[in-house]
Structure 1
Amino acid sequence: MTAETMPYPATDYQEANRGQYHFSTRGGWMNDPNGLLHYRGTYHLYYQHAPNSLVWDTMHWGHATSTDLVRWEQQPIALNPEQHVGELWSGGGVVDVRNTSGLKDGDHDPILVFTGTQGVRTFYSLDGGFTFTAYDEGRVIAQPSGRESRDPKVVWHPPTERWVMVVWSDNDGNGLDFFVSADLLSWERTSRITAGWAFECPDFTLMPLDGDLTDLHWVLRDGRGSYLVGDFDGREFHTDWTEPQTITRNPGPAASDYYAAQSFDNLPDGRVVTVAWQGKNSGSVWTGNLSLAVEQRLVSTPEGPRLASEPVDELRTLRHSSSTWQPGRLTPEEACALLAGEAAETYELAATIDLGATEAGSITFRLRVVADGTSGRDVTYDVAAVTLDGHSLPTAPNGVLTVRLLVDRGQLEIFAQDGLFYECLNVDFDSGSGGDGIELVADGPVVLTDLAVHRLGSIWT
């Protein structure tokens, strides 16, 4: 590859704070994931990218590929402003397996990506998603309402056998415009939702409730991970929700710990998998990283349907060694000594705690502990407040608490209660504690059902 197609410095991906199983671009700035899709056994990740800058700059679409949603290989830039017309800001992508666009010319199905501000443009690929051509010289194919608009997301609507596009715009405040199309190239604007919460980077997914394929609902989200559950008739979205929920316990603005999550198109087996931008991580040659790929389910709860998020099962393939402990009742002293011999830099900690038999008022996992007793980060469950890491937690079924902590060099992701609790964080472990110890601290007897530490290898080797 020439310098023009791969303008990145040499790296072994071992710079301080560089996540070892969280994707970051080989060099330069990255933000929102774009155009995520699966095609013939390969996952394509495009992303907002300034290849020659460590801060936000003229946007390109960076590109990486994977065969397992875990290990990613950097590819040449997919959309370049010197070759592709318009502002190449965030957007979506689809595989046109039905050739509704009529663009197919050869063995590959057309892959179309959608981008642009103040008007949507599309670019298509006939080589499996590696190079793209502007459709009709880059003319605007869909015009949202308002003065400002961006971030088109396109999905297939099975009942009407039409494509649907959702775009953020500022017409009478934050809101989302809906368009429909039979061919991905000619679009009709059909409706709009005006909502103060709905800012940037919409995502729109059809999901079964509790896995029941006869009970399907549409989930509409924005850049912060706020979402509504409702129905879509092919032209308008309807919901009886009055307020959105949030996917993570720590929603934030752009460049925060979790933003602009997008789902993959054309996944096998009907899975819904998303990744988000984590904007608080940087190093000597790169800025920003992506969250873990998480699989999402729509599940029933006493409060109504909710999204549950858990790491994709493929993450298990990074485990190279594990330590496990038998169930038992531990005094505070025994709990503190339990993990004394453990040391790990990048790992998964999974614990199940019998709250009914536990007498402790708080249970804390101390991460990246150093010799002087300080730690890089603590994660505490407060029994009386029913909070984990300071955030409310769904009621534990049968009095059992399940927790998974995913620790990387600059990232921490917390999952609990089968994914109904999800917190996605950038944590500067490298230049913070610098240690690799782990501690379990309880202020009273605690009963463990099981505990495991799985050391995770690097995706870069």
Structure 2
Amino acid sequence: MSRKAPFPDPHAPRLRVRPPANWINDPNGPFRWRGRYHLFYQHNPAAPVHANVHWGHVSSPDLVRWDHHPIALTPTPGGPDEAGCWSGCVVDDDGVPTAVYTGIDRQHTGVGTICLARAVPDDDALTVWRPVPEPVVTAPPAGLHVAMFRDPFVFRHGGRRWALVGAGHADGTPSVLLYDCDDLLSWRFAGVLLDGRDPRAAEALGKDATGWECPQLFETSDGHWVLVLSLWDGEPLSTGHLTGTLTAAGPDDPTPRFTPRSGGPLDHGRDFYAPAVLQDRAGGRVLLWGWSWEARSQDEVERAGWAGVLTAPRVVDIRADGALSTVPAPELERLRARPLPSQLPDAYELFITATAPATVGLLRSAAGERVTLALDPAAGTVTLDRSGWPRQRAGGSGPLTLAAGPGAAPGGLTVRVLADGSLLELFAGDAAVATERVYRRAGDVPELTTRGTGVQVTGWELSGWEPDPPRHG
């Protein structure tokens, strides 16, 4: 097979979901409908800046080939979402796909309303949506001094439908609010599911956040429940998760009560936020996408004409030791087209298994600095060093170490790298993942090195593939 011409913009991901141009942020409403995966996202169709937010829309038969569709949700002049259709989810409401989202008006100060839009009948492609004229929730509950209110997420428990809403309070306490929405047109506040004063939540997530955005809740294969949160203090901080139980409040009260047991970071990288999950019951798994923002200057973004990308789909579950498991969706292996050359292309996959210490180089600067991965199987760690590539966005500049645990696997420590333009997704076994943006500069050489001695070193093995861009689905 002949090699295709390089992608015109080496920073631009070509395998992951992003619009052809302009702005993308939070993934919204992953949804499986009539045999296809649908994924929506925050999108400014006019410029690569966070403003004028619509819902973009793609769909896929296989999580690999994605088709772009017309914009799904558009702000309504004079309506509750006139300043933006912000984050939310999509649910099947008695056979009618329904978007449940945050409406922002011109006067908002972080407090939104909860709005609905329904897909038109017999439109299996979900390309036309009709907004419900009035919000189903016009304001946060009284008496709680809520200063941040957005990002509804609908789930089922105990035979009923419930919703979470991300919140922050005037005293700086983050929380997740709970609503009974068995009837999507009639919502009832059912209490605070969890807040930052919970000692296990504070221990697992830290105390810096003043708001918890984009709450997501899912059940794992062994019956545990996982609450995913995006930590916010006036700007995005990081993401975290809490694992625990979800039970009814009492024999005559079906209101869910979440009891956290453990938790920690969801993604250890600097460039990941606002993940959204799909409880794919037909596939017997939970899928997750996140948003990776730009870590370069706004001038560079505007010259490029695009900003942001969604990560590869990930399968999340609970490991035998109770920790969260995160791996790339297996469908991504279909992208493997040919063995990886030593001169790395703009997109590639790399798989390393080590039983002895090993270091792999991915990028070399003209001054001799390198982006490297150092594997230590005895300690169960992999360290990404990208300190020679400074960034515009805030974040630590030193090496990043991920812990897969001592003796992470009988065959050694495994590391998988998914690189796509400037997007780097690093999986240390199934126990830790990091999303990073690394921008190649003039004079940088994307080359694969292993201590300068080739790709076979005693005690470890390396394999890699260059993908072909997927055809439309």
Normalised by the shorter chain, which TM-score bucket? Answer: 0.7 to 0.9
Secondary structure, counterpart of 2:413 in structure 1: strand
Cα deviation, residue 379, structure 1 = 1.5
- Provide the residue aligned with 1:387 in structure 2: 381
Cα deviation, residue 78, structure 1 = 0.7
- Provide the residue aligned with 1:351 in structure 2: 352
Secondary structure, counterpart of 2:333 in structure 1: helix
C-alpha distance 373-438 of structure 1, shift in aligned 2 (>3 A): farther
The one of 420, 427, 430 equivalent to 1:415 is: 427
C-alpha distance 318-398 of structure 1, shift in aligned 2 (>3 A): closer
C-alpha distance 347-410 of structure 1, shift in aligned 2 (>3 A): same
- Provide the residue aligned with 1:332 in structure 2: none
Question: What does the per-residue CA deviation read over 1:160-212, in whole Å, with 9 as the maximum and x for residues that have no partner?
Answer: 21112110112352110011222222122212122155621111111123xxx
Cα deviation, residue 459, structure 1 = 3.5
Spell out the pairing of 1:20-419 with structure 2 (5 A cutoff): 20-82=14-76, 85-86=80-81, 87-96=84-93, 99=94, 109-116=96-103, 117-126=111-120, 127-128=123-124, 129-135=126-132, 137-141=133-137, 143-145=139-141, 146-157=146-157, 160-171=158-169, 172=171, 173-192=173-192, 193-195=194-196, 196=207, 197=209, 199-209=212-222, 216-223=223-230, 224-232=238-246, 233=248, 234-241=254-261, 244-250=263-269, 257-266=271-280, 268-280=282-294, 282=301, 284-301=304-321, 305-322=322-339, 341=342, 343-354=344-355, 358=356, 360=357, 363-369=358-364, 374=368, 377-382=371-376, 386-389=380-383, 390-393=400-403, 394-396=405-407, 397-398=409-410, 400-417=412-429, 419=430
Query: Does the CA-based 8 Å contact 1:351-1:404 persist in structure 2?
Result: yes
Question: What does the per-residue CA deviation read over 1:351-382, in whole Å, with 9 as the maximum and x for residues that have no partner?
Answer: 2112xxx3x5xx21111457x68466212224
Cα deviation, residue 13, structure 1 = 6.8
C-alpha distance 240-315 of structure 1, shift in aligned 2 (>3 A): closer
Question: What does the per-residue CA deviation read over 1:364-410, in whole Å, with 9 as the maximum and x for residues that have no partner?
Answer: 1111457x684662122246765312324122233711111112211
Distance (Å, rounded) in 2 between the aligned partners of 1:433 and 1:38: 44
The one-letter code of the counterpart of 1:366 is: G
Distance (Å, rounded) in 1 between the aligned partners of 2:89 and 2:275: 11
Give the structure-1-normalised TM-score: 0.78
Secondary structure, counterpart of 2:346 in structure 1: coil
Between 1:406-415 and 1:178-187, the stretch displaced more is 178-187
Between 1:182-191 and 1:306-315, the stretch displaced more is 182-191
Distance (Å, rounded) in 2 between the aligned partners of 1:167 and 1:312: 28
The one-letter code of the counterpart of 2:439 is: D
Aligned-pair identity in percent equals 27
Give the structure-2-normalised TM-score: 0.77
- Provide the residue aligned with 2:466 in structure 1: 455
Cα deviation, residue 115, structure 1 = 2.4
Secondary structure, counterpart of 2:410 in structure 1: helix
**Number of equivalences:** 396
Aligned-CA RMSD value: 2.7
Distance (Å, rounded) in 2 between the aligned partners of 1:32 and 1:265: 18
- Provide the residue aligned with 1:428 in structure 2: 439
Cα deviation, residue 58, structure 1 = 1.8
Cα deviation, residue 413, structure 1 = 0.9
Secondary structure, counterpart of 2:9 in structure 1: coil
Distance (Å, rounded) in 1 between the aligned partners of 2:432 and 2:330: 17
C-alpha distance 320-433 of structure 1, shift in aligned 2 (>3 A): farther
Secondary structure, counterpart of 1:317 in structure 2: helix
The one-letter code of the counterpart of 2:140 is: P
The one-letter code of the counterpart of 2:419 is: V
Distance (Å, rounded) in 1 between the aligned partners of 2:382 and 2:182: 47
The one-letter code of the counterpart of 1:147 is: A
Distance (Å, rounded) in 2 between the aligned partners of 1:353 and 1:307: 22
Cα deviation, residue 321, structure 1 = 1.0
The gaps in structure 1 that reach 5 residues or longer are 1-11, 210-215, 324-338
Distance (Å, rounded) in 2 between the aligned partners of 1:412 and 1:140: 40
Cα deviation, residue 22, structure 1 = 1.9
Secondary structure, counterpart of 1:315 in structure 2: helix
The one-letter code of the counterpart of 1:312 is: A
C-alpha distance 200-13 of structure 1, shift in aligned 2 (>3 A): farther
C-alpha distance 459-225 of structure 1, shift in aligned 2 (>3 A): farther
Between 1:401-410 and 1:190-199, the stretch displaced more is 190-199
